[in-house]
Structure formats: C-alpha cells, structure tokens
Amino acid sequence: MKEKKAVFIYSQQLGKYSYPPDCPFNLSRTPRLHKILNSMGLLSGNNISQIAPHKPGREVLEMFHTSRYLDALQNAAKGKFDIEALHMGIGSPDCPVFGDMYKCSVLAAGATLAGAEAILKNEADIAFNPSGGFHHASPEHAAGFCYINDVALACLVLANASKKVLYLDIDVHHGDGVQNLFYNRKDVMTISFHQNGRTLFPGTGFEDEIGIGKGQGYCVNVPLPIDTYDEAYFKAYKQIVPPLLKSYDPDVIVFELGTDTLAGDPLANLKLTNNTYADIIYDLLSFDKPILATGGGGYNIDNTVRAWALAWSVLSGCDRENQHHNIGLGGVMLESTDWFGGLRDRQLAITDQQRQSVTKEIDTTIRAVKKNIFHFHGI
C-alpha cells in the first residue's frame, strides 16, 4: 500500500470556543489532542501536514440548512432569542444558547469542508477534523449538541462533485441528521452503528430503516445492545461493512468517529475500548479509499483524547512506524495515572452473562441487516 497523504485540520480559534460550563459537550478535547500529538511527534513527517479551516460562505451552509434557521442561530448568539428559535431546538437543554454558538459551529463545519476540499483536489488521501461530527442537526432544527451538520454538508459537497460516498458513523448515537438527508438517494450510502434507539437518544436507527425510492437499500442501521464489547462490535462490523463497501465501491469514505461508545462514557452504555477503533480504521484503510474522518461525541475527555490520538496514529501510518517507541507514552502525555500502556486501552474483562446476552442480540441484528439490505447489492 502506497504512503498516504494525511492532513490534520486544526484551528487555535476553535480551541478558544466553549459550550456553557454545565453542558457535557466539551470543546477542550481538540486542543488537548493537538498538544499531545505534537508532543508525540505525530503531526510531522513526509506524508503529514496540517491545515487551518476557513469560514464557509452562507451559500455553502444553505446547501443543507434553511436561511430562516441560520438567521435564528445568528440572532440567538447575539442575544436575540424568541419562541421561533426554541421551536427550532435552539435553547433546548442539549443545544444551549451561548455567545460563540454560531461562530463555533460554522468554523467546525469549515474544518470538515476543508478536508473534503483537500480530498477533491488530491491534496490528501486522509483528512481528520476532530472538531467535527455534528450529525444530529437537521435543515431547520438543532439537536444533540449539534447546530450545523458538517458531515451532511461534506457528503453533499463530495456527492455534488460526482463522488460516490460511503458515510460510516460509529458514534454511540444514531446519525439521524445525515440519514434523513440521503434517505431517498443512492449516491451516499449511510451506515450507522449505535446503541439501540430504545435505550438512547435520538430513538431512531432501527434495522428496518433502509431508505426509500432510489435510496432503498442504501441506508443501513446496526442498533447495538447495552454492554456491547469489542469482540461483539467488531464481529458486527466485519459481517456488514466490508461486504457492502466492496459491493458499493465508493470513491470516498466519510467516517464519523464519536468515542462515546467507550466504556466509562457518562452518557451511554456500551463497553468498547479504543482498540476497536484501530481495528476498524485498519480495515477501512485496506480498501485504499480516501477517508474524511471527523470527531463526534465523547464525554469522558481523557478517554476521548487518547482514542483520537490512537485513531490519528493509525490513519496517518504512524502507528506502524512508532508502535514500539510509543509504548508507555500515552499515559504520561495524557497526565493520567489510570493506564500507562500507551495510546491503546487495556482489554476489559467480559462476563459470561454479558457475552451471552450481547451475542444473542447482535446475531439477531446481523441477520436482520443482511436480510433487509444485502439483496439490493447482490450479496
């Protein structure tokens, strides 16, 4: 496999923004990640570069969001808040109003769009914007800490450039905003692995949500039971994603890398370690497709930063080059005494009861997805 050009997208300005102190969504993750990657030498090399995002124009944002909604976001950020904005989800408990709300959301979207542009210009094979991944926002509604849907916009930009896109979302929450946009289209296949909507927000993303019209069979949902662990999760991934990826043969992969599937996340109930993320990325890289990766959820900050550092090390090829050199650095660089085994998490013990209950439910889900989806693709 040829050496891939990897681009890390970062802005010091994004690191200066913050949600209100009582909001679980913490923007300090990205500057902490950037500092650690710099310290470990993971942002330098012949194939690695950094780029800064630019604020996208209003016409770009209106490819997905309505003008009325964008006006309401801007006005609310300036203190001009009304009942119409509240009906759009602005000012709800999970989408609070704060002064930098609009600027922050637009620049985060600009970072993901910069990655898409770098791929379209053949300036990058891999692009990673850890400040992105706001997959819940809809054209006229904020939800789940998301105001502007950067990943939906990026998929649109790529599709409008005649690229066939596979959108893979492994955030613990269903990627509803992106799914809804492409539900009747086949130029963007959406695949979402998430905690079952019966037990977690947003309450959607079931196996029978498969798209409509031209999009039928191009929307794939893999709801997962509480306590899903590495082996079970990766089994579901391997049974579903590689066959579809091979059959669909996309031009580019857009990859939402939320880390709220990790054990210990305060807002969800899965039990993964970051080793599963590395395994998935290695598999995606084997298909030799450009990858635009973003962040997403992740509410245990230390775990999220380490997981994204590991993800970047694999995406950029540094994991193979430095796997011995970096042993022991993860815990030290993260100033954590929890685990000194490097960037990779320790393996977690699985109980017999957990294995039995999770395996049974995941096997049922795999069968349902294959039955509902695979025949559309000759699998």
Active-site residue, 136 included: yes
Residue 26's Cβ-count burial label (10 Å; 0-12, 13-18, 19+) is: middle
How many whole angstroms separate alpha carbon 34 and alpha carbon 284?
A: 23
Average pLDDT, the chain: 94
In tens, the pLDDT along 7-39 reads: 999 999 988 999 999 999 999 999 999 999 999
Give me the number of domains the chain comprises: 1
Residue 133: C-alpha distances to residues 242, 278, 377 (Å): 22, 18, 28
Largest Cα–Cα distance in the chain? Answer: 57
Residue 319's Cβ-count burial label (10 Å; 0-12, 13-18, 19+) is: buried
Q: Is 190 helix (H, G, I), strand (E, B) or coil?
A: strand
Q: Is 239 helix (H, G, I), strand (E, B) or coil?
A: helix
Q: Domain containing 260 — which CATH number? A: 3.40.800.20
Of the ranges 1-10, 120-129, 184-193, 316-325, which one carries the lowest mean pLDDT score?
316-325
Any domain includes 81: no
In tens, the pLDDT along 321-374 reads: 554 344 444 444 444 434 445 799 999 999 999 999 999 999 999 999 999 999
Active-site pick, 65, 135, 136, 141: 136
Any domain includes 80: no
Which residues lie across from 193 on neighbouring strands? 222
Any domain includes 91: no
Burial 75-95 (b: 16+ CB within 10 A, else e): bbbeeeeeeebeebbbbbeeb
Q: What's 64's DSSP letter?
A: T
Helix (H) or strand (E) holding 292: strand 291-294
Any domain includes 195: yes
Which residues lie across from 83 on neighbouring strands? none
> For the residues 90-113, what does the mean pLDDT come to?
97
* Predicted model pTM: 0.95
Q: Domain residues for 137?
A: 6-66+104-377
